[in-house]
Amino acid sequence: GLGDVYKRQIYQWVCEHYDVAQKDTIIFEDAIYAVKAAKETDCYVYGMKDSSNSTVWNEICEMADDIIC
């Protein structure tokens, strides 16, 4: 949806703003929608486990490049 596009654009904007290539950027996220949006960039994405994402943790694990429990 539009929210995912907006979030992906935020990651892209941050990389451009700080003049850092997406492939050289690491993103840490705990929300599944944010992990999904971040994965649509060329950034490396860590999924972070917390008490709010236990019901979707398996999906985050499958989507993220790596995880932090």
Q: Is the pLDDT of residue 2 over 60?
A: no
pLDDT on residue 7: 76
Q: What is the mean pLDDT of the chain?
A: 91
In this prediction the pTM is 0.86
The contacts of residue 34 (CB under 8 Å, 6+ apart) are: 7
